[in-house]
Structure 1
Amino acid sequence: MTDAIKIDVWSDIACPWCYIGKRNLERGLAQTAADDDAPRVEVVLHSYELSPDTPVDFEGSETDFLAGHKGMPAEQVQQMLDRVTGIAAQAGLNYRFDLLRHTNTVKAHELLHAAKAQGRQAEMAERLMSAYFEEGRHVGRIDDLVELAAEAGLDADDVRDALDTQRYLSDVRQDQEQARAYGITGVPFFVIDGTYGVSGAQPPEAFAQVARQVWAERRTAAAEPSA
């Protein structure tokens, strides 16, 4: 049997394009599911912090943060957020920047690694991004993260211990080192089968195309007689 295609995804919980890219990847792979020879795919999420100097409890709105961080006029920031909200809606996401609580995301990344160890990384990523962008939940404090982890089906006590002891912080840092080695300077960034790099929240059709292409290449290579 041909091995599954591995898609490594570098993203940040606080990146609006990352949630859109995640959803578009899922929709693209869903398009391939009906193929006679549907690609088998394994998706693994990796940590990337866009603003590691952000405080856990940022006082102000998303507009305030971006205006200060990017030096853009508040009106221009609002126009940008409105545009992103519209694109997110096309992906089936209901962004609420008016509710969003900007925070440091390192603990959320530790949680994603804890979830990976429990075999529920995909569920945890979805819960975190929905909580952050659609529900105005806090994703930077341990108590809040433990609550979200339980909602995603993880063992709450294990998660609390993992976050209190920074059990997975080294895994977060390893992901970030790998991103630097790859030359990744923005997210989302997708590495397909360790060979193809795809940057940005591409449309579903683009992800479907690359999955089919790589799967066909795999099939061709498997069919060739060994020397």
Structure 2
Amino acid sequence: MPAVQIDVWSDISCPWCYVGKVRLDRAIKNVESAAGGAKIASVKWHPYIIDHSTNPSGEEYLAYNRRRWGSDSWTTSLRRLVRLADTVGKAAEAEQLLFTLTYEEGQNISDLEVLKSAGEKLGLPNVREYLESGEGKREVLEDDKLAKGKMGLHSVPSFLFNGKFSCSGAMDTKSFEATIMKAMNGTI
């Protein structure tokens, strides 16, 4: 069993969440390499929806900028896709694919067909039916409400190490490495 449990709250429409994911992934890889390749961390992804008022099919970048402050997409459906991926151990892979589609390929991840194709690429069972059904929406919204309410999260990305230490923002890779090492050593 991995020594460190890392919980991450993220909104895939947020570019800083992508930066944070890349840096966290690098840090985990570096620490695992230093540990002789042993798996040292387990990462669990949680929803955090920055803007509940975004159109469910997404918005054009410039129109959204005029309305708010930056690019965004409606993330409830894609969070449902990540939940489905988690049932078969592919949540991290789903997060990476959705970030890649958004920031490297420029696709609208709010588009249901894009999500269905992503789910099929991940090999998820019954992904088309699942996304069309609305199943999992209530749970995603409850998780988001919990993060903003009881947990008091106000920004993303937010990270919790072994249920004890939390930080928010896209820390640099070395800071993530140091935090992971402290979590492994039980000093946090």
Q: TM-score, normalised by structure 2?
A: 0.89
**What is the CA–CA distance in structure 2 between the aligned matches of 1:36 and 1:129, rounded to whole Å?**
28
SS of equivalent residue, structure 2 residue 130: helix
- Contact kept, 8 Å, 1:107 with 1:141, in 2: the verdict is no
1:95 is matched with none
2:170 is matched with 201
- Contact kept, 8 Å, 1:11 with 1:18, in 2: the verdict is yes
Q: Report whether the alignment pairs 1:137 with 2:104.
A: no
Cα distance per residue 1:154-199 (max 9 Å; x no partner): 23xx112222222211321232132121110110000111100111
**What is the CA–CA distance in structure 1 between the aligned matches of 2:152 and 2:169, rounded to whole Å?**
14
**What is the CA–CA distance in structure 2 between the aligned matches of 1:126 and 1:69, rounded to whole Å?**
26
1:221 is matched with none
Residue correspondences, number: 185
**What is the CA–CA distance in structure 2 between the aligned matches of 1:23 and 1:134, rounded to whole Å?**
13
**What is the CA–CA distance in structure 2 between the aligned matches of 1:189 and 1:59, rounded to whole Å?**
25
1:160 is matched with 128
Note the residue ranges of structure 1 that are not aligned, 5 or more in a row: 71-76, 78-99, 219-227
1:23 is matched with 22
Map 1:11-160 to 2 at 5 A.
11-36=10-35, 40-58=40-58, 60=60, 62-70=61-69, 102-155=72-125, 158-160=126-128
- Alignment RMSD (CA, Å): 2.1
2:179 is matched with 210
- Mark the structure with the bigger radius of gyration: 1
**What is the CA–CA distance in structure 2 between the aligned matches of 1:193 and 1:171, rounded to whole Å?**
23
- Contact kept, 8 Å, 1:39 with 1:211, in 2: the verdict is no
Cα distance change on mapping 1:134 and 1:212 into 2, 3 Å: same
**What is the CA–CA distance in structure 1 between the aligned matches of 2:44 and 2:171, rounded to whole Å?**
17
**What is the CA–CA distance in structure 1 between the aligned matches of 2:157 and 2:111, rounded to whole Å?**
24
**What is the CA–CA distance in structure 2 between the aligned matches of 1:209 and 1:39, rounded to whole Å?**
16
Q: TM-score, normalised by structure 1?
A: 0.75
**What is the CA–CA distance in structure 2 between the aligned matches of 1:20 and 1:198, rounded to whole Å?**
15
- Contact kept, 8 Å, 1:5 with 1:39, in 2: the verdict is no
Given candidates 131, 137, 140, the residue that maps to 1:172 is 140
Note the residue ranges of structure 2 that are not aligned, 5 or more in a row: none
Shift of 1:132: 1.1
- Aligned-pair identity in percent equals 28
SS of equivalent residue, structure 2 residue 140: helix
1:10 is matched with 9
SS of equivalent residue, structure 1 residue 34: helix
Cα distance change on mapping 1:124 and 1:59 into 2, 3 Å: closer
**What is the CA–CA distance in structure 2 between the aligned matches of 1:35 and 1:59, rounded to whole Å?**
43
